[in-house]
């Protein structure tokens, strides 16, 4: 369930008066997702996503995120375009939340991507980096090193049992890693959450890339390291070398890495492993049982550290 703030069809209808989207016909909650409230909205002009932004997405950052998708869509990249209201704005307020209507992208995410799918997803990430060039928006990473420290400190207050052991490993890795972003690598707008569930496929090709709400300005190779960490490991967190190789091959077919980026990749992979372990651990420790979203397992993400560390050593 990813409806944190319920909306009725009547409320959506009233709110839609601010748009040129016709009459709301159906409003269906979307089960997937863990951050925001999403509804599939049918109007007599078509199908859209109605998103109400919940706590973790800082409202001040939404113009960056929506502006990035509009910039990408203008360049032919399959990002969902935000729909402007009658005054030309992308954001309104609905039931106490910032809210937006977003273009619906067809397709479905792949539970078991083949090597060809991995390569296609890698190529599309490289296209994203290229298409984002020239985007004037700037946003510092909301889940960068300062946030890791805050998350770890918060986790320390509530962690016990297995979570405490995980946190001890995270603390050790944080101390060892230092600043993983110290190198002078190519930067730009990055997706920063390019997981399989954010990449839709249709007829064997990528039809949509969604969920840019962790999007920020950062090292392009970090975005690749996040994506490799998401696409290149099995459900237990063990590396799948064919998948890793196919994804990176697809990426580099469009945007070859520099030698400095290649050298930095294992360290950036460690950073990615820590970043997602920490948010997952935090969300599990502070999970509200009345909220039906199932927290994701932090331990399997921490296993990626061993892979990236071995690659660094090699």
Ligand X SMILES: N[C@@H](CCOP(=O)(O)O)C(=O)O
The binding site for ligand ADP (CB under 6 A) comprises: 2, 30, 32-36, 38, 49, 80, 102-105, 197-198, 208, 210-211, 213
Closest residue to bound ligand ADP by CB: 33
Out of ligand X, ligand ADP, none, which partner does residue 80 contact, by CB within 5 to 8 A per kind?
A: ligand ADP
Three-state secondary structure call for residue 29: strand
Comparing CA positions, the residue from 184, 273, 257 lying closest to residue 221 is 257
Binding range to ligand X, per CB under 6 A, among 89-97, 99-107, 156-164, 195-203:
195-203
Mapped onto helix, strand or coil, the DSSP state of residue 304 is: helix
Q: Closest CB to ligand ADP among 19 and 104?
A: 104
Residues 166, 151: Cα–Cα separation, whole Å: 13
Torsion angle of the four alpha carbons 141, 197, 290, 55, in this order, in degrees rounded to the nearest 10? 20
User: Which of 84, 174 has the CB closer to ligand X?
Assistant: 174
- Residue 139 contact among ligand ADP, ligand X, none, beta carbon within 5 to 8 Å by kind: none
Stretch that binds ligand X, among 55-63, 73-81, 92-100, 191-199 (CB under 6 A): 191-199
Q: Out of 69, 141, 198, 248, which residue is the one contacting ligand X (CB under 6 A)?
A: 198
| 306 interacts with ligand X by CB under 6 A | no
Q: Tell me whether residue 43 or residue 144 sits nearer to ligand X (CB atom).
A: 144
**Measured from the CB atom, is 44 or 236 closer to ligand X?**
236
Task: List the x/- string, 17-36, binding to ligand X by CB under 6 A.
Answer: ----------------xxx-
CB atoms within 10 A of CB 289: 5
Q: Degrees (nearest 5) of the Cα angle 115, 266, 198?
A: 45
Q: With CB under 6 A as the rule, give the number of residues binding ligand X.
A: 12
Map 172-200 to HEC letters.
HHHHHHCCCCCCCCCEEEECCCCCHHHEE
Distance CA 145, CA 150 (A): 9
When asked if residue 211 is in the footprint of ligand X (CB under 6 A), the reply is yes
- Distance between CA atoms of 27 and 119, rounded to whole angstroms? 35
The residue (of 51 and 198) whose beta carbon lies closer to ligand X is 198
Strands 187-190 and 216-219: antiparallel
Residue 195: which of ligand ADP, ligand X, none does it interact with, CB under 5 to 8 A by kind? ligand X
Provide, rounded to whole angstroms, the least separation between the CB of residue 193 and ligand X: 5
Considering the complex, state which of residue 173 and residue 293 has its C-beta at the smaller distance from ligand ADP: 293
Phi, psi of 88 (to 5 degrees): 90, 0
Q: Please report which helix (H) or strand (E) contains residue 117, including its range.
A: helix 115-131
Please report, in angstroms and rounded to a whole number, the separation of the first and last CA atoms in the chain.
43
276 binds, among ligand X, ligand ADP, none (CB under 5 to 8 A by kind): ligand X
Residue 280 is a binding residue for ligand X (CB under 6 A)? yes
Task: Give dist(CA 302, CA 64) in Å, integer.
Answer: 30
**Is 19 or 195 the residue whose CB approaches ligand X more closely?**
195
Element (H, E) at 309: helix 304-313
Give whichever of 136 and 235 is closer to ligand X, judged by the CB atom. 235
- Residue 191 binding ligand X, by CB under 6 A: no
């Amino acid at each position: 369930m990813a409806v944190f703030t319920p909306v009725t069809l009547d409320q959506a209808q009233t709110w839609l008066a601010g748009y040129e989207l016709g009459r709301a016909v159906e409003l269906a909650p979307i089960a997937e997702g863990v951050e925001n409230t999403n509804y599939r909205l049918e109007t007599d002009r078509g199908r859209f996503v109605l998103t109400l932004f919940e706590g973790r997405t800082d409202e001040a950052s939404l113009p960056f995120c929506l502006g990035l998708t509009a910039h990408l869509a203008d360049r032919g990249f399959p990002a969902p375009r935000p729909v402007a209201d009658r005054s030309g704005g992308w954001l309104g307020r609905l039931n106490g939340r910032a809210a937006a209507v977003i273009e619906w992208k067809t397709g479905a995410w792949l539970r078991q991507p083949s090597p060809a799918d991995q390569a296609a997803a890698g190529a599309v990430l490289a296209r994203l980096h290229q298409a984002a060039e020239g985007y004037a928006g700037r946003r510092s990473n909301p889940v960068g090193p300062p946030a890791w420290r805050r998350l770890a400190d918060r986790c320390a207050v509530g962690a016990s049992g297995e979570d405490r052991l995980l946190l001890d490993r995270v603390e050790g890795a944080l101390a060892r890693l230092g600043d993983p972003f110290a190198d002078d690598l190519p930067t730009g707008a990055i997706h920063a959450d390019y997981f399989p569930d954010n990449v839709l496929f249709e007829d064997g090709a990528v039809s949509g890339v969604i969920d840019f709400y962790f999007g920020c300005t950062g090292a392009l190779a970090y975005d690749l390291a996040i994506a490799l960490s998401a696409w290149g490991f099995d459900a237990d967190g063990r590396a799948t070398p064919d998948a890793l190789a196919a994804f990176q091959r697809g990426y580099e077919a469009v945007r070859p890495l520099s030698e400095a980026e290649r050298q930095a990749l294992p360290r950036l992979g460690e950073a990615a492993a820590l970043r997602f372990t920490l948010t997952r651990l935090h969300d599990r420790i502070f999970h509200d049982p009345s909220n039906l979203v199932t927290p994701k397992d932090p331990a399997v993400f921490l296993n990626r550290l061993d892979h990236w560390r071995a690659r660094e050593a090699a």
